Structure 1
Amino acid sequence: MASERFLKLDKEKQERILTAAREEFSSVPFDEVSINRIIRSAGISRGSFYTYFEDKEDLLGYICEEQDISMERSLREKLLAEDGNLWTALMLWTGEVLGYMERPAVRHFIGILSNIHLARRQEIQARSSAQKQLRDREQFEWFLQNVNPKTLDLRRPREELRVLYQTVLRLALIALASEAVKIQSREQILHELELQLNILRRGINIDMEGEGRKTI
């Protein structure tokens, strides 16, 4: 992860480096990412870069963690606004993100999702941050405390609920990444995500009287 030296830089210089990195990671596949292009765009020396980050994987891990924290915060806000309905909150959140594609932060977020395979992203984060697992556990605990039990059968085994939570988040991220490759229209992407979430919702709530027949 980022070194203490990077974290002590003034915010303007930090953001200049991170903006250059986000632009690079969102523009090309990971194997084609060039540290030279990043440092040229950021206006720093190669030597300085290596005092801030070990390599491009280390830098990507920091950026992904930064994105995850932002995503978790906005999802929490959406879940609370929708009275704990995970399914509705996730659909609305995904639609809103897709609607903000003109914003650089969103464009970078979706571009990185598209260029960096989710499995590789998770592998890099696992190596880069010992705090990620703790943060993931805390996020899951918060979810269990705030999800509406009328919309999700919380009597299910805890492991099932954990896997479900990870799965629906992964589906939303895949939907966002689909926007970058432009194979489907935005409407098709959201329709397919809604179908996937409805299948999962009916499956997990099969024992809840009447709930298995409702749609999102």
Structure 2
Amino acid sequence: MPKETFYHLSEKKQQRIMTAAKKEFSRVPMGEASIAQIIKDAEIPRGSFYQYFEDKEDLYFYYFQSMRRNFQQELNLAIEQAEGSLFDGFEIYFSKMVREVLQGTNAAFYKNMFMSMDYRSFHKVAPHFGKKPHAACPPDQRHKENLQEFYDRVDLSLLKVANQEELKLLVKMLMHLVFSTIAEGYRQMKENGDHSIEEVMAEFTLKLNWLKSGATKESR
């Protein structure tokens, strides 16, 4: 997260830094990103950058977090629309998310993120599945409250889960499915130019149904 000095900057200067971050992280994956280019576009000295952030990774995940909250809100709305059905809600959520990720204004950033994602970065960018924070939690933890709201909306009577802890494990599996399907979609689009969003969505639905109903036929 940013250092306290970043929050003391004017809104205009903060936005200039974030715009520079978006430009560079959309150009190349985080590992290849240049701090020199970011500070040039943001029009700040190199020394100032390190007064605001520990390193480029710190800036990267802060930039992503500003977009992640929107997806968490979409997830809550999807579960509400599905009347508490976890699997139906995830299908609704994915259909909205995949279009934003593959075709939206931040598509280049997401492409670099998903194509270079490893286990560590997945846990950085995926929603946190911890316990609900205290009411006085700082703003950068509000996404945890959104997730608790999501858990409260899921109808446990429709699932073979004993409690909320088991629900969290199931949701983690579904999130892995979301991220891996999108990453595979990018790879297919790179290798096969006519691979469409509809095909990505169909693949997700197939895998979701396997997880929901099983992939093993009943024995005769």
Q: Which residue of 2 aligns with 1:166?
A: 172
Structure 2: runs of 5+ lacking an equivalent:
132-140
Residue 207 of structure 1 corresponds to none
Kindly, what percent of the aligned residue pairs are identical?
31
Q: Which residue number in structure 1 is paired with residue 201 of structure 2?
A: 190
Q: Conserved in 2, the CA contact under 8 Å of 1:75 and 1:89?
A: yes
Instruction: Note the C-alpha offset of 1:93.
Output: 2.1
Q: What is the Cα-based RMSD across aligned positions, in Å?
A: 3.2
Aligned-partner Cα distance in 1 for 2:129–2:55: 19
CA separation of 1:26 and 1:179: change in aligned 2, threshold 3 A: farther
1:146 paired with 2:157, answer no
Structure 1 residues 121 and 176, CA gap change in structure 2 (3 angstroms):
same
Q: Does 1:5 align with 2:5?
A: yes
CA shift digits 1:138-193 (9 cap, x unpaired): 565434321123542333x6554322101111211223334444144212211111
Paired with 2:129 and 2:210, the residues of 1 have a C-alpha distance of 29
Report the equivalent of 1:91: 91
CA contact (8 A) 1:23 1:108 kept: no
AA aligned to 2:196 is S
Q: Cα–Cα, structure 1 residues 7 and 176, in superposed 2: closer, same or farther, change >3 Å?
A: farther
Q: Which runs of 5+ in 1 are unaligned?
A: 204-211
TM-score by length of 2: 0.75
One-letter identity of the residue aligned with 1:103: G
- Secondary structure of 1:2 counterpart: coil
Matched letter for residue 197 of structure 1: L
Matches within 5 A, 1:104-143: 104-105=105-106, 107-108=107-108, 110-122=110-122, 133=130, 141-143=148-150
TM-score (norm 1): 0.76
Residues paired across the two proteins, number: 200
Of 175, 181, 187, the match for 1:175: 181
Higher RCO (CA 8 Å, separation ≥ 6 residues)? 1
CA-to-partner distance for each residue in 1:30-73, whole Å, 9 max, x for gaps? 32111111112222221211111011121123223333323212
Corresponding position of 1:64: 64
Does residue 51 of the first structure (1) align with residue 51 of the second (2)? yes
Name the CA distance, whole Å, in 2 between partners of 1:26 and 1:44.
Answer: 20
For 1:4 and 1:83, locate their aligned partners in 2 and report how far apart those are by CA, in whole Å: 41
User: For residues 123 and 144 of structure 1, what CA distance do their matches in structure 2 show?
Assistant: 19
